[in-house]
């Protein structure tokens, strides 16, 4: 039986970690794209010990640094003939406006643009592997009111939650664009909400954001439970017809009205392609 080659970002904690362990148990050959390679190596050895699956590899990748993303893709292209599953799991929320190494607003960079570049760089391998691309979004996308004239939050007061919600809406836009553009080439794409998961998410928030997270914590689910929809999408058979859809609790659900906006979706694609173009060569 052919080995399934899976690439996952943000695997060293939370639902990414649980996803990686579950897929290793299913004998996937895993490539862990991580910012902290020491944590990545520790997870690698933990997975090997727990699952006896030795096909676990660590690749340095900082999604806030587009040069790092491109270098990670180059490593994968030099090591692999194809990729069967790509899980864009990493993300984050930032209390104050920060800029990435490349000068982009950090929420936009980490949650969207880094993954956008990663996919663009890996397209030949994804096509060869007839891949599934799984984008971890959030119900926070429902609060989004994207301003394409101020993606970097320089012209208006920064809001951590609005920036995060917009980035999660962009995950859904990205998913639908991938399904439409690359479905004919055998690539399928899915977006999902993992649930309100009790991880380190939001620990840097202050003020009302910190209070809201504290109030929500007793109602949060475990990382293992939160990973179940991602795991389902990586393993399920006969779901190609649902490519481009948004999932919650392993089922297709309706995203927000804004998520169906084709003009916004196409504009995001064009803007993103222009921003990453210098890193594609």
Mean pLDDT of 67-76: 98
In the chain, the number of structural domains is 1
- In this prediction, residue 2 carries a pLDDT of 76
Give tens-digit pLDDT for 117-143.
999 999 999 999 999 999 999 999 999
Task: Using a pLDDT cut of 90, give the percent of the chain over it.
Answer: 89
Give tens-digit pLDDT for 206-239.
555 454 544 445 546 788 999 999 999 999 999 9
Task: For residue 257, name the pLDDT band (cuts at 50, 70, 90).
Answer: very high
Residue 281 has pLDDT above 80, yes or no: no
Q: What is the mean pLDDT of the chain?
A: 93
Give tens-digit pLDDT for 34-56.
999 999 999 999 999 999 999 99
Could you give the angle at which helices 114-128 and 262-276 cross, rounded to 10 degrees?
A: 90
Catalytic residue among 31, 164, 182, 246: 164
Mean pLDDT of 5-12: 97
Determine whether 164 is an active site residue: yes
What is the domain range of residue 84? 5-279
Q: Any idea what the CATH number is for the domain that residue 131 is in?
A: 3.40.50.720
Residue 205 has pLDDT above 80, yes or no: no
């Amino acid at each position: 039986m052919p080995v399934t080659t899976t690439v996952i970002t943000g695997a060293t904690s939370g639902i990414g970690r649980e996803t990686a362990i579950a897929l290793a148990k299913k004998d996937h050959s895993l490539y862990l794209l991580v910012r902290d390679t020491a944590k990545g190596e520790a997870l690698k050895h933990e997975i090997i010990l727990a699952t006896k699956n030795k096909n676990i590899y660590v690749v340095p990748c900082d999604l806030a640094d587009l040069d790092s993303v491109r270098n990670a893709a180059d490593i994968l292209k030099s090591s692999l003939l194809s990729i069967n599953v790509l899980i864009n799991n990493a993300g984050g929320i930032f209390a104050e406006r920060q800029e990435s190494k490349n000068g982009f607003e950090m929420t936009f960079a980490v949650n969207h643009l880094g993954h956008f570049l990663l996919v663009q760089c890996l397209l030949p391998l994804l096509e060869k592997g007839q891949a599934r691309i799984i984008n971890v979004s959030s119900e926070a996308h429902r609060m989004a009111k994207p301003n394409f004239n101020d993606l970097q939050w320089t012209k208006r007061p920064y809001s951590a939650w609005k920036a995060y919600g917009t980035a999660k809406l962009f995950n859904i836009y990205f998913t639908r664009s991938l399904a439409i553009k690359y479905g004919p080439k055998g690539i399928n794409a899915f977006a999902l909400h993992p649930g309100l998961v009790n991880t380190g998410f939001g620990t840097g928030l202050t003020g009302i954001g910190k209070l809201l997270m504290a109030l929500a914590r007793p109602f949060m689910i475990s990382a293992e439970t939160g990973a179940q929809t991602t795991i389902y999408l990586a393993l399920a058979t006969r779901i190609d017809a649902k490519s481009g859809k948004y999932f919650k609790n392993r089922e297709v659900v309706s995203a927000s009205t804004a998520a169906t906006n084709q003009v916004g979706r196409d504009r995001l694609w064009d803007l993103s392609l222009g921003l990453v173009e210098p890193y594609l060569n």
